[in-house]
Structures are given as C-alpha cells and as structure tokens.
Chain A
Amino acid sequence: MDTRSKSKLGHLLIAKSMAEALLITAVSVGFYFVTTNPYLRGVLDYADGRTVAGWAVDEAQPAARVEVQLYIDGIFVADQAAGEFRPDLRAAKRAEDDWHGFVFKLPPIPPGEHEARVYAAHTSVAGARRTLQMIGKPLRFRVAGSDKGDAPR
C-alpha cells in the first residue's frame, strides 16, 4: 500500500469518525426533544399532609390541560388533568386562560417526613413512548402524629 493510499485511508477514517460523532449528537438531541416537552412550564406551590397543589401549562398548546401525576415518597398516588381555576396565571401572563391549576387531595399518610413530586406525562412516537417530566421542585412536608393513616399505595 503506497503512502498516498495510506493518507487517503487515514482521512477517510477521520471523516467517518466525524460523521458518526455528528450522528450521535443529532440522535441524542433528537431523543431529548422527542421524549421531553421543552414548552412545559409549571410550579409545585404547596404540599402538606392533606393537599398538594400547583400549576402546569404547555406553552406549545396553551388551551390543552396537562396531565399530571402525583408521587409521594416515590410512590404513585393519583393523576389528573391540570384544569383547576388559577386566575393568577393569566394575570402573570403564564397562561392564556384561568384553568391550569391542579389540587390533589391526599389519602391518609403515616406520620413523619414525606416528599411530594408532581410530573407531567408526555406521549411521543405515536404513543409508543410515555415519559414523565417533573413540575417545579419536589416539596418536603411533615405529617403530625394525629394525622396517622395508611401509606399511599
């Protein structure tokens, strides 16, 4: 094999590596945008032993009600469409109408420290994938002894 051919082969290997690096980058970025909703906005406002509340808006579809799921200590508790009355969101220009809040009424929870997380469900690839995206930040709350009850199932 002559020097010129070796040089060509080396260049080809570099070009192929670059093409594959670009492919992996495109696939990774594409995967992110397919499996997450970059237009999702929301906040988890409040959590205690009885209620978890907040709001969620999909800015790409401002008229739609976002499906939200509540998890306490990592265990699924309930889901609902975020369609509760929240006039403050429209006033703050976060939504186009007044109906993007969510309020979960909790089942009895054992005393102690707990953590509430609310996720928005996102469906992609014609329903083949369903991913969860956390709304705002998790909130910790304490349940006093008198509120004793069963753990969520």
Chain B
Amino acid sequence: MGRIQLKQVKKAFGDVVVIPPLDLEIEDGEFVVFVGPSGCGKSTLLRLIAGLEDTTAGTIEIDGKDATGLPPAKRGLAMVFQSYALYPHMSVRKNIAFPMKMAGLDQAEQDKRIKAAAAALNLTDYLDRRPGQLSGGQRQRVAIGRAIVREPAAFLFDEPLSNLDAALRVGMRMEISELHKKLATTMVYVTHDQVEAMTMADKIVVLQAGVIEQVGSPLELYRAPRNKFVAGFIGSPKMNLLDGPEAAKHNVQTIGIRPEHIDISTTEGLWKGTIGVAEHLGSDTFMHIHGIPGCDPLTVRAGGEVSVKHGDTVFLTPQAEHIHKFDKQGLRIA
C-alpha cells in the first residue's frame, strides 16, 4: 500500500513561503511526476513527503495515517537522490544491506533480498565493489537497489537521472518504468525534464512557484493545458503562444498552437513568414519562422526529409481544431 495525501500542506523558510497551502492525492500504485522549472518547489514538496523537511502547516497522510510528525525512517518510504548518495566507504552489498541492517532484519533475509535486487538490477557482478569503482548508471542502480530492499510503501525519486548522460538517461528511464510495472508500488518522481514526465507518468503534477498549476495524465495535459504556463511547459518543442491580432481574430487574449499542429506550404496559407534556423533531426525538422505577428520566432514541426533553407518564404496554416485559447489571466477557454 502506498497512498499519500497532502492536506493544506505549507512550507515556509522564515518569511519566505516556498509552498503555499496545497492539496494533493497520490493513489496507491500510481507513478506521479512532479515537474516544473527549477526553484518551483517540486523537490521541497518531495522532501516534505519524505520527512527530510518539516511542514510549516498542514498534514501528510500515508495510507490514511497521519505521518506529518514522523521521522523519515518511520514513514516507510524509500528515496533515490540525484547525487545517488551512496555510502562511499561501503561495498555495493553493504550499501544495499544498510537499510535492512538498520531495520534489524536477519542475515538470511538480507542475503535473499540483496540477491534478488542485484539480479533485477544487473548488479550481481559488482556486489563487492565500492561505489567509486562504478559508472554513473551502475551507481544509480545501486541507489535503486537500496530503495527496493526496504519494500517501501512508496518510492521517492529526486531528479535521479540528471547526472547521467543522455543515452544512459533514456535507458534508465525505461528501467525505472519497467520496475514500476513489476513492483506496482507507488512512485513519486521529481524532474525538470518534461520528456521524462510525459514518458513515465501516470499522473503529472505541474508546479510553478510552489503552486500546483495542473494535475492530470500526460495526454490530458498535452491536449487541454489549464493555462498558458502548462501549455508552454508540456510538449517539446514548446507550444507557440500568439498575442495580438491573430488572437484578436478569435476574440481572446492569447492563442496557442503546437509546432506539430501547423501545416506548412510554399505556396499558400494563413500566415506568411521566413525561415530562420531549421533544425534537422532526421526524423523531424524543427523550423523557426520569423515574421508572424505576435510570436517570434514561431516553431513548426515538419517531416524529416523537407528540403528548406534559411531565408525561404513559407506559408503556415494552424489546424483549427488544435488551437488553444487563453483569456487575460492566461487561463484556458474551452
């Protein structure tokens, strides 16, 4: 079981309120991702759940029991840190065994769980090495192993992949997702990378300045962002947001259109612009178009094989059914 409920949880450091009172429910077995720009309070929120920070007000319930005042160890949660936070003076085996040793588990049970975790995480050959002798990916797996053996109610991940190189990050992303499928344990995952959020989450919590902007499944957030912030944050490349005359045509303050929802033509279209930078990724081409009022540059996704060059004139037409409309407060208009 791993149901976590935050009720009116608030965090302030002195006079600075980092997280104004917020409510959040994390269901048992869910993979929840907290995402937001740096400094948005997502890590603080995770640390409040972990018990590494004290709440200023409000209650945190884990499986229906009030855990607000409990020390980290008593909450039945395991955490994986960005820096791995392995014990450098202990072998991999001892690192993984540490939480079980603290819990006073007998040696046979410890060995059994270490063996299982090592097998699941491809660490069997490295059990007697020190963390310093492992690669970044292996270290991260040890950190996960140390979390697994506790059989926690929920796993907390604090930007666990930020220190890995891009290729490894994709691999570890899948490993963690698979682990979630296998264990079916609640996972709360913090990242600033919206791609990680989109690919891994059952439920995404978008945060800005300590405030939850929207909670929903990745596709909900993609299809119907509640406001301009979420619209701009979820999706890659970012949604184009146009103010001014183009928005006025729809009688709104701002309209948003995703790069993949714009048709491009060399002969005719609604908007006319010139190509600035074109990023050829092979599978896709991202073009930055200048000259469209209210949004400069405007990003457009085209197929991989388009042959366009800097300075070409192009015509763009947004797909009407994919236009997002926002009012003066930046809130979505259905």
Q: Are A and B genuine complex partners?
A: no
**Residues of A near any B CB (own CB < 8 A):** none
Residues of chain B touching chain A, judged by Cβ–Cβ distance below 8 Å, are: none
